[in-house]
Every structure is written in C-alpha cells, then in structure tokens.
Structure 1
Amino acid sequence: MRTWSLALAVDRADPAPVVRQVARGIASHVAAGRLRPGERLPGSRELARILGVHRNTVVAAYAELLAEGWVQSSGGRGTFVSPEIPAALRRRAGGSGAGHRNPGFALGPAPSPRSAIAAQPGVLSLVSGIPDLRLVPVDAIARAYRRALRRPGILGYGDPAGEERLRTAIGQMLRSTRGLEPDPAGLMVTRGSQLALTVTARALFRPGDVVAVEAPGYAAAWDVFRAAGAHVVPLPVDEEGLRVDALEALTRRGKVRAVYLTPHHQYPTTVTLPAARRIALLRLAAVERLAVLEDDYDSEFHYDGAPVLPLAANDPAGVVVHVGTLSKILAPGLRIGYVHAAPEVIRCLAEHRRYVDRQGDRALEVAVAELIEDGELQQHVWRMRRRYAARRDALAEALRARLAGALEFAVPAGGMALWCRTAPDLDADRWAEEGPRAGVLFHAGSDFTFEREPYPALQLGFALLEERELGEAVRRMAVALEAAGRPGPAESGGRTKGRRA
C-alpha cells in the first residue's frame, strides 16, 4: 500500500545539522506511534525530493537512525521502522503520542448508551428496529446512485433542506400512505430521524424548557432533548399508549414546551394511540400551544387491518412536527430521514441544519427519489411487509412453544418487535444479561425506563432474522432463562399466552 508523505520539515535557521534534523524528526514520529514497528520508510531519493535536500543527507540520517536502533535496513527492499523498539524507549524518546494524551481541558457529560445494538459473531440478535440487510435492493440502489453521480453539479453544495426531487417524492408517498398534504416547502430531508430530532430540538427548545416524553420510551430521543438544554419529564404509558390526562395535569403545573410520542406503534410497547386520546392530545396542544413531536418510525410495517393515520393528518392548529425515516425500509447506513411541518418551521430547521450538518448526500437523495418515482421502493416495502409478517408469527409461535408461562404478549398489528411481559418470579434484566452467553441478544424492559429501573418485560425484534433463525434464537432464550435461575417450561403443552392485537 502506498504511504502518505511524512510530515517532516527542514529548518534552515536551526543550528542543528540538517542530517540531525531529519533523523530527529523521523525518531519523533516513531516515538509518538505515527510510524509503527515494521512500517516502511520512504526511499532516500523520494524523501530527499520531498525535503528539498541532497540524497546523501537522507542516507546519512537513515544511517544515524540505524545506528541508534530506530530502523532496520533490508537490503534492496528498503528501510523499515525497527520492530524491536521497546515501548518504554518510545515513551522516553517522544512521550505517549498525541493519540494517547489526556486533553488539557474538561469535557462535558456525554450520554451513556443504554445497551449494545450489535451482536457479536455467532450471536443471534432479537434487537428491534434493525431491518434485515439481506433484503436490501443493493443493485437497484447502486444503479440509481451511479446515474445520480453523473448529474451536473451533484457533488457541489445543495439546499440544507434536502434535494427538492426527494422532498417531492416523499411528499407524494406521505400523501398516499399517511393522508398528509405536504409540498416540498413543508419537508426537510435529514441524515436519519436522529438528526431530524436533533435539529428540531435545537430549533424549538431553550434551556429549561419542559419536554414531556413517554415512559417507557425511546431513550435516544431523551438524550437529544437534554443536550438541547430541555428538562425532560416522563409521562406514563398504559395499554392504550400515552396517558394524555397525565400530560394535561403536567400543563396545569407549569408551561410545557413540547410532547414527544410514538402514537402509531408506541415504542417499545407497540400499542396504538386510540382516536379519543389523539383528539384530546391535539386539542390540548392547540390550547396550550405546545409542540407535538410525532415520531413515525415504522409506519410502513402494518400487517393487520388499515394503518392509523398520523396525528399530522388531523392538525388544523399546525402544532405537529412529524418525523419519519426510510432507514427501516432500506438500511440504517443510508441515513435518510425527514421532517414534515409548517413551511416556516422547516425554514427554521433548515437554518439550524446548515451549521450542524450543512446538507445531506445529494447523490444518494436523488437516487432514493428515483427509487420512489419508479415504484422500486414501494415494491420493496411490500416484499418486506410479507416477510416481516411471517417472521412476527414465527416468533410468536416459537415463544408459545418454548416459553409459555414465562412470557405474556399480544401479537401486534404492526411494527418490528414483540413486547413481552415476564412472569412475576422472573428477573428480566438477569435473563437479558445471560442472553449473549447463550448466543442470543435482546433488550430487557429496563432499557426503556426513564431511570433504568427494573421493568418486567422483554422487547424481542423479529425483522432481522429468518423464521428458522428465530426458532433457534428462542431456543437459546430458554437456555439463558435456565442460566438466569429458572428452568424454562416444557417445550410443548401448557396454555399459550400469546394473543393477536
């Protein structure tokens, strides 16, 4: 592999001989770890050309380094950093290296991750929210991306609100599937829904603003709001979703700036907010002038009956900021999210996005727009919906067969996971901790609680694995349950606790 040019310089005003300057500079690179043991140094002619010195000067510097033990010469192959330099010698000569020094300034607190989202090799993942990347239409995306790259000016700066072509395509999608009436001026495309939430929080919140959230709920959003200076207040969730009466009580105690919720498939319980609560929420928001941040993270995956329209579809007061994503449809690595709101809100968000991220990947946005326009994305969603519905049912059946009595769950009408209540005598956290040792990864209910307090539930995602893999994952869950201190029930027999919602 061709190496980069060394950051060396010769100072003609330095009283030290040039040979010594070159040798000292290379030794300092080795000491700091920027040149690693065994790494090949530039040839004497190449380095002399770079430094503007005579080749004999570099040859003499290499000879000095060889004598000091910093390098080794391998005949006609070149000069290499010695593999035998002790770490202690490197520290004495040049310190611990810039990459290992402690900063000379204080760092602010950073949010601590709730739990790992990636399984180790050989571990089956039941983590929710991750699509099966084996189903991604890679060839279609690649063809569309290549065509987009040929567009004149596509690699230059663009609109921080996103490519108008993609905003138009997403608007048509939302009009057909969500009952919305957005035009490009009411949409902004972002690098995933997390950036959409970040920009929205920066634009809407000031330090000390009260933001109400669902609990249990999506902790990554809470961290975004806290980073913007907001005071995050949890509201209870029951079998119908967010308790709007609790939000109303909170507004009576003081000013509430916003409420964040996932009304279509509440995260993580998967329940759908019913019509009466939706109406009450929108009326309360209109009276109190509080922003409603609606996270519509997986609306495409609804399997039974008609999906419920989002809050933004019935928002005459203009209080709803609707956040969505294509990451669950395509792949998280593509980072395509969006915000739908009133045009003046979008203009404000775009200005905040300008100094946070400047703009997205213009070529990718044009490529995704083409996939929507050609119907490729719609066909992909239909294929995934059939696959995921089958996987949902396969996971439910495997849980009934192996873990009846340990878990109680309702089969959701949509989403990408099951929310399972654990039996009273089980420790959900201990069970989840034993999971990776048994070869399976899943979340305990405490990963979604506000203070990480124990919660008698498990979240089991089904989108990532095929039916056979789901059966094996449940078998490993039974092994983990036994290791956690309670033997699993018989593999057959017993009353099933699963029911269809």
Structure 2
Amino acid sequence: MREPLALEIDPGHGGPLFLTIAEAITLDITRGRLRPGARLPGTRALARALGVHRNTVDAAYQELLTQGWLQAEPARGTFVAQDLPQGMLVRRPAPAPVEPVAMRAGLAFSDGAPDPELVPDKALARAFRRALLSPAFRAGADYGDARGTSSLREALAAYLASDRGVVADPARLLIARGSQMALFLAARAALAPGEAIAVEEPGYPLAWEAFRAAGAEVRGVPVDGGGLRIDALEAALSRDPCLRAVYVTPHHQYPTTVTMGAARRLQLLELAERHGLALIEDDYDHEYRFEGRPVLPLAARAPEGLPLIYVGSLSKLLSPGIRLGYALAPERLLTRMAAARAAIDRQGDAPLEAALAELIRDGDLGRHARKARRVYRARRDLLAERLTAQLAGRAAFDLPAGGLALWLRCTGVSAETWAEAAGQAGLALLPGTRFALESPAPQAFRLGYAALDEGQIARAVEILARSFPG
C-alpha cells in the first residue's frame, strides 16, 4: 500500500490514541477493506496523514503485531497477517479497550511484549541467509508439511525436553504463525461447535476471541492468588454440561502474573481426568523466570492419555514481529489441528523456521534468553522500586517471580479514570476492563515493562503518579 491509509479517527472519543488507531485498523481488516497480505504505510507516512506523532502510530502497529493482526517483514514493511482465521474476518468488535482519550505522546505500558532491540539479529540474519541458500530449500525438500518443518519440530522437541521437562515427539508438534493461530487450531480440534471452554477471569481476551472464532462458547472462572480456582471450576462443571475444555496460563497467569502452585496443578489434572476435559495450557513466557525453582508445565506431569494441548511462543522470546508459535498435542488432536491449519494456511514460513531451528541447535537462542532475563529482571526491579517510591498508599503490587509484566492494583480509585488521566498526560495504560469477561472489572493495570528502557520506565511512573485522580 503506497498511499497513506485513510482511517476514521475521532481524537475526542476518549482513551489512548494509539489504541484508537489500532482499533480503526482492526475494523478495516475485519470488514475486508484491508485484506490479508495488504501492505500498510510506514509509520512516518501514516503519522503525517493522521496529524499525530510517529511514536503514536508505531505504538499502534506494535499493539497489532503483538495481537497477531499484522506481521512485519524486515526491509519490506508491515503487512496484514496472512494467517488470520476466517472466523475473525467478520464484523465483531475487538476486545473492548479503555474508553479512548487523546494522547500527547507514544509512551505505553504494553501487555507484556518483549523488547525487539534485544533480538539477536545478526545471528538470526546469518541463519536465515543460510536457510535461503540451502540445497534443501532450493529443491523444495522438507517444505509443505502443515505441521511445520521437521528441522524446527525436532529442535523444539529437544529444547522442550531439556528446558521444561516436557517429553515431546516431533511428530506431535505443530508450528504455527504465532500462538494466536495455535490457540484457534487447538479449540477447533478439541471442541465441537457449541461446546464450551472454561477460561480464567480476569484473563486473555485474544484467546477468548480465538475460541469463539473456532465455534466454542466461552465461560469465565475466577482466579485468586493461586491462579484458576479449582473449586469454582468444579462448580461450573456441575451446572454446565456443555463445558468440555479448560484454558489456563499456570506459569504466569495472564493478566495477574500469579503462578499456580503444585497442589492446585495436581488438582486441575485430576479434575480434568475425572471429567474427561481437554486442557489447553498456554505457556507464553516460560523462559522468563527470574527467581525460585523452575516451575514445570502441566504438560510435564499430565497423565498418559489426558487430552492436553501445550501452546508456546517464540515471539515472546524474540519479538512480536517474528510470528512463530507451536503446539504439542496427542496424535488424534494434532491430526485435526494440522488439517484445519492446511485449510487456512498450507504451510508456514519455511526459511524462518529453518533459521530458528539453527538458533536453537547452536545455542544462540539459549544465550539470548539468558541475556534477556538479566535485562528484564533489572527493568522489573527498577519499575518496582519506582512504583513503591512514588505510589505508596495509592496502588499496590506483588513482585512477580518472572514474566514481562506487573499487576498494579489501584487503591480507592477507578482504574478507568486513572487511565484516562494518564492518557491525557502521554501514557497509555491497560486497565482491568481489558481483561474482564463477565465479572466486574478488577481495578488494576497490567504494566508490561519489558519493551521500555530505564529512562522510559522512570518517565512512565512519573506520569502515572502525576495523573493519579484526586
């Protein structure tokens, strides 16, 4: 797309302007004006056309890259994602953001996106070039399998076994264009149309959209300081015969960041086995554990025969623009997932998959993960220090043992009102309304800090403190 993109933006409609722009682009995708593969204008050109700061447009693009609506291609530009499930391309509003307010800058706490500046770009570029020049790629060998290239599936299987204690047969792994596609395919395989899936509340709205697009009903189950409440799930099962699956983020619950303890994990596995439930485990940020012993996924402890689909992402480890997720599933479910994937996207990005397989085998990905953990832990600690110093008595948080976000609970004020004031001052926030399904929204913010450097974190907390209502 060479010409500036004409978007209908109402600056007075409320909330962060970058989210208003992201919503407008999403709407144009769902109504078919922007087709899969369509090229978007550069951030500078669109900012000029809309009369906003370039950082604001960049923040909107990053939000949509994180959500999977867009994909970035080095040296080419930003495009509408090719792999959007057909069920998403309808007139359905995106998960409701904060009531929009005009912003004067592009500073934003994300939902937990990594810092693309840390990507091992030189190692990735070398591996990508070798993949493009390899005889196998030129001959077309090993390409066309809907599960993904065997090289990456084999490398991932070894990685999951050594890093997470998950025994993974490469034949039971499927590579997807991001975890969003993997969640959609998992729901298509595990649920019949009209059946219901239990999800955490507050929880991950984009997973809910993927499940709905696959034809499933979504039921909220509350979380507490230990993650998904097993007693509430059992009560939901007793009154809803359509409930056939459960979606969980046990490592760092999204959005609250709490870790599900060992006892509750065992209770969940026992309950799933007793009721014949499918489990979809989203281990979206496993690499980012800063303290304490490693916590193994449910997939590492699941009883033989339990229909558990384990979903992970390489995008969180590298960059939102690198759209690679994966799923590990029993053969019966994986066969269904591969068939559904072939119907919407015959195969993945073979050169990129081959390049990432090389990064895993050569240890470059592991070295990057160790470096990223050091950087993100320092940023987490700085954010915690600044919040404690400047927001004592006005907000509270529990320091998460890992992950790329912090859950900040408001004290005596509306999170939405605070978000509006911060948006006017130049800081975009994600309040609890973004993560509520049916229950009242929590008065809290998810502060994704990883993509902010030290100076940006300090400025963001200053704006947060200055914009406190009252």
Same fold (TM over 0.5): yes
Cα 1:209–1:250 shift into 2, 3 Å: same
Q: Tell whether the 8 Å contact from 1:299 to 1:307 is kept in structure 2 after alignment.
A: no
Partner of 2:194: 208
Q: Deviations over 1:447-481 (max 9, x none)?
A: 11114843211111110111222111100112222
Deviation of 1:433 after TM superposition, in Å, equals 1.9
Partner of 1:349: 337
Aligned residue-pair number: 376
**1:243 and 2:229 equivalent?**
yes
Q: Deviations over 1:238-288 (max 9, x none)?
A: 111101111111222224210001001000111111111111111111111
> What does residue range 18-57 of structure 1 map to in structure 2 within 5 Å?
none
CA distance in 2, matches of 1:326, 1:115: 26
Equivalent position to 2:389, from 401, 410, 423: 401
Q: Name the SS of the counterpart of 2:247 in structure 1.
A: strand
Q: Tell whether the 8 Å contact from 2:112 to 2:447 is kept in structure 1 after alignment.
A: no
The alignment's TM-score, normalised by the length of structure 2, stands at 0.77
Partner of 1:45: none
Partner of 1:39: none
**1:281 and 2:268 equivalent?**
yes
RMSD of aligned C-alpha atoms? 2.0
Deviation of 1:395 after TM superposition, in Å, equals 0.1
Partner of 1:182: 168
Partner of 1:307: 294
Deviation of 1:318 after TM superposition, in Å, equals 2.5
CA distance in 2, matches of 1:226, 1:336: 22
Partner of 2:96: 114
**1:256 and 2:239 equivalent?**
no
Q: Deviations over 1:183-208 (max 9, x none)?
A: 21111111000000111122222221
Q: Tell whether the 8 Å contact from 1:212 to 1:234 is kept in structure 2 after alignment.
A: yes
Q: Tell whether the 8 Å contact from 2:95 to 2:205 is kept in structure 1 after alignment.
A: no
Q: Tell whether the 8 Å contact from 1:443 to 1:460 is kept in structure 2 after alignment.
A: yes
Q: Tell whether the 8 Å contact from 1:111 to 1:223 is kept in structure 2 after alignment.
A: no
CA distance in 2, matches of 1:154, 1:120: 47
> What does residue range 349-368 of structure 1 map to in structure 2 within 5 Å?
349-368=337-356
Cα 1:265–1:289 shift into 2, 3 Å: same
Partner of 1:324: 312
Equivalent position to 2:119, from 136, 145, 149: 136
CA distance in 2, matches of 1:308, 1:211: 25
CA distance in 1, matches of 2:258, 2:340: 33
- Structure 1 stretches of 4+ with a deviation exceeding 6 A read none
Matched to 1:114, the amino acid is A
Structure 1: give runs of 5+ residues left out of the alignment: 3-106, 487-501
Structure 2: give runs of 5+ residues left out of the alignment: 3-88
Partner of 2:431: 444
Partner of 2:147: 161
**Aligned sequence identity (%):** 50
Cα 1:188–1:342 shift into 2, 3 Å: same
Equivalent position to 1:435, from 422, 445, 448: 422
Q: Name the SS of the counterpart of 1:270 in structure 2.
A: coil
Deviation of 1:108 after TM superposition, in Å, equals 4.8
Q: Deviations over 1:35-54 (max 9, x none)?
A: xxxxxxxxxxxxxxxxxxxx
Q: Name the SS of the counterpart of 2:175 in structure 1.
A: strand
Partner of 1:371: 359
Partner of 2:16: none
CA distance in 2, matches of 1:121, 1:187: 45
Partner of 1:217: 203
CA distance in 2, matches of 1:293, 1:111: 25
Larger radius of gyration: 1
CA distance in 2, matches of 1:282, 1:416: 27
Matched to 2:370, the amino acid is W
Q: Which stretch of structure 1 is more off in the superposition, 354-363 or 459-468?
A: 459-468
CA distance in 2, matches of 1:266, 1:197: 16
Q: Name the SS of the counterpart of 1:349 in structure 2.
A: helix
CA distance in 2, matches of 1:171, 1:409: 36
Q: Tell whether the 8 Å contact from 1:429 to 1:454 is kept in structure 2 after alignment.
A: no
Q: Tell whether the 8 Å contact from 2:112 to 2:449 is kept in structure 1 after alignment.
A: no
Partner of 1:43: none
Deviation of 1:181 after TM superposition, in Å, equals 0.9
CA distance in 1, matches of 2:91, 2:219: 19
**1:467 and 2:454 equivalent?**
yes
Cα 1:208–1:336 shift into 2, 3 Å: same
Partner of 2:129: 146
Q: Tell whether the 8 Å contact from 1:128 to 1:463 is kept in structure 2 after alignment.
A: no
Matched to 2:108, the amino acid is S
Q: Tell whether the 8 Å contact from 1:312 to 1:322 is kept in structure 2 after alignment.
A: yes
CA distance in 2, matches of 1:289, 1:332: 35
Partner of 1:337: 325
CA distance in 2, matches of 1:111, 1:200: 22
